[in-house]
Amino acid sequence: MRMYDVIKKKRDGGELSTEEINYFVKGVTDGSIPDYQISALCMAIYFKGMTSRETCDLTFAVRDSGDRLDFSEINGIRVDKHSTGGVGDKTSLVVAPIVASLGVKVAKMSGRGLGHTGGTIDKLEAIDGFQTTLSDADFMKQVNDIGFAIVGQSRQFAPADKKLYALRDVTATVDSMPLIAASIMGKKLAADDDCIVLDVKTGSGSFMKTVEDSKALAKLMVDIGKSAGKKMVALITNMDRPLGRAIGNSLEVIEAVETLQGKGPADFTEVCLTLAAYMLSLAGKGSAEECRAMAEKAIADGSALKKLIETVGAQGGNKKLIENPATFAKAKYSHAVKSVRDGYIGAVDTEAYGLASLALGAGRNTVEDEIDYSAGIILKRKTGDFVKAGEEIATLYSCNKQSFARAEEILLSATEVCKDKPAEEPLVYCIVE
Ligand code: URA
């Protein structure tokens, strides 16, 4: 088989066979196919798409490109949730403790942020001492003992995706539905969970800009998961604005803790409760409505917060930071971004908000970049809120004072201030089962 012929077939709109897809992914993994040919096929897929059969084959080949986890030593149903990536998306820090506090096991592997979206592992590393690597034995013991453990992805986990994603990122081929589905589901299926809830983001801060595209992506991923024997559900959630008010690692951990204390922002709390309800329901705890009530109670009675504190302690993190989030290290400098006119906050470019946070030092442009865990943004006004000229829209935090000018410029040009109050948009558009 020749890679040239595989590229040409897809370029001309052909359907690749299982053998051709396996040949491609094997060559990506062992380095025998050069980057320019991998990139060329990604571009051909971007333009010509893939059938569901091809997408399933690509997903399974990505899953099988490295180690597959065996969670059989974990007692009970294991449930995971995965977000397609957004700005201010700290839901894992809230939903996993809720679900674990209600007796369902959460054995979670999470990623780091790259580009405008944050990553759960970076947020956890904002907690002093928190270990994001555990041996398989310690990981499973922790899940059995306290119901929840969370680690980063090891190098041998779906290595084909690592290579593919790095090349897609620099060849403008990230936002292709079959490539996203195979990337996300390849990794999810390499882990050994029984049930998966997908949080498919839609809008200006996500890869899928329209609800229709997000639904199609969700359906594709749900079908792939089901064909691999998993219980699946996907929620289409709003990313036309950041989730909650905090963007940036320690700021988001603080907001997650406040949410578990029952004091979180309404939009973020609502999305967390809905995700937790579907995770519990897939795990057989009752209907989505019953499970939502259970999730609300786990926040109200403090058991979910207790579970987060227990997990942080078990993974070497400083529990005192979670017990009293006011003790998190503060950024050296802060800066108020003020509105130049009166009006309602209208449409915002959520991706640009993520980029503003990146400019402050909260994320990485390359994998080698160091993060300023205290950097980020607290939004004082969000879409639909009224603001007067001179009033604060957001507070910026950073240890690098020079970064404020650029971040402010990005934020202001990403925020529309308009005369009329914008129509309310749903937080959860629909459920794909
Ligand atoms: N997240 C992933 O893991 N892969 C993609 O392709 C997009 C989002």
The ligand 1 atom at the shortest distance from the C-alpha of residue 168 is 6
Distance CA 422, CA 426 (A): 13
Q: pTM of the entire structure?
A: 0.93
- Respond yes or no: is residue 187 known to be catalytic: yes
Please choose from 89, 174, 175, 199 the residue to mutate so as to test ligand 1's pocket, defined by most ligand atoms within 8 A of CB.
174
> What distance lies between CA 104 and its chain's CA centroid?
21
Nearest protein CA to atom 6 of ligand 1, as residue: 180
Task: From 164, 207, 351, give the residue whose CB has the most ligand 1 atoms within 8 Å, as the site to mutate.
Answer: 207
- CB contact set of 374 (below 8 Å; sequence gap of 6+): 126, 248, 249, 250, 251, 328, 329, 330, 331, 332, 397, 398, 399
Nearest CA to ligand 1 atom 3: 184
Identify residue 19 by its one-letter amino acid code.
E
Q: Is 250 a catalytic residue?
A: no
Residue 87 contacts by C-beta under 8 Å, 6 or more apart in sequence? 116, 117, 118, 205, 239, 242, 243, 247, 350, 351, 353, 354, 357
Q: How far apart are CA 151 and CA 80, in angstroms?
A: 13
pLDDT of 360 reads 96
Strand partners, 238: 202
Sign of the dihedral defined by the CA atoms of residues 45, 49, 54, 57, in that order? positive
Question: What is the whole-number distance in angstroms between the Cα of residue 395 and the centre of ligand 1?
Answer: 30
Closest CA to 238 of 350, 112, 76: 350
pLDDT value of residue 367:
67
Would you state the pLDDT for residue 265? 98
Distance between CA 253 and CA 299 in Å, rounded?
A: 16
Burial of residue 388, with CB atoms counted within 10 A of its CB: 0-12 exposed, 13-18 middle, 19 or more buried: exposed
For residue 92, what pLDDT is reported? 96
- pLDDT in the model for residue 114: 64
| Rounded Cα gap, residues 294 and 112, in angstroms | 30
Query: Which one from 64, 161, 199, 372 is the annotated catalytic residue?
Result: 161
Cβ neighbours for 309, distance < 8 A, ≥ 6 positions apart: 319, 322, 323
Chain centroid to Cα 362, Å, comes to 16
Decide if 381 is catalytic: no
Active site residue 335: no
Which stretches of the chain drop beneath a pLDDT of 50?
A: none
The Cα–Cα gap between 321 and 331 comes to: 15
> What is the side-by-side order of every strand in the sheet holding 246-247?
246-247, 376-379, 392-398, 333-338
